[in-house]
A = this chain, B = another copy of it.
Amino acid sequence: MDELDEKVLRHLVRDGRATFAQVGDAVGLSASAVKRRVDRLVESGALRGFTAVVDPAALGWRTEAYVEVRCDGPVAPAELRRRLVEIPEVVEAVTVTGRADALLRLLAADVQHLERALERVRDELDVAATESVIVLSRLLDRARPGT
């Protein structure tokens, strides 16, 4: 994991479908050298994969919210995960320090849909309390190009 690897990664974060030759031009390597590095980065796990960045609004998901969830009693993260994957509106979930057990990011078509998704969250988990904020605008997202 040297400086060249980081440059390769930076370039691929900017354009996940860049050709090896394009990356090579940017970092000063041949295409085959870039390919070998990319293969190694994938192998080592530093590069987890490639993905398309989709505008949620184009799919009709126009309402976004962050929800802090506090559960009744102790909850195993694995169990939490198992239940949350069942709710498609939950697109991101982490366990956190502090009063809350988990922080969720939800995408829904509208606030009515969001409310139904939240009900489902409360049903699936043994929720003691939730605290939600609705996203007004996205200012910054370094992991996604074109924002």
Q: Which residues of B contact A9 (CB under 8 A)?
A: 52, 54, 59
A95 at the interface (CB under 8 A from B): yes
| Alpha-carbon separation in the docked complex, A15 to B12 (Å) | 14
Residue ranges of A at the interface with B (Cβ–Cβ < 8 Å): 1, 6, 9, 12-17, 44-55, 58-59, 64, 66, 68, 77, 80-81, 84-85, 90-98, 100, 102-103, 133-147
12 further A-B pairs in the complex, CB-CB below 8 A; given A47-B52, A47-B55, A91-B141? A6-B59, A13-B52, A44-B58, A48-B147, A49-B52, A49-B144, A50-B50, A66-B103, A84-B139, A93-B139, A96-B134, A143-B144
Is A50's CB under 8 angstroms from B17's CB?
A: yes
Q: A83: nearest residue on chain B (CB-CB)?
A: B139
Bound together, the chains give a CA A96 to CA B9 distance in angstroms of 31
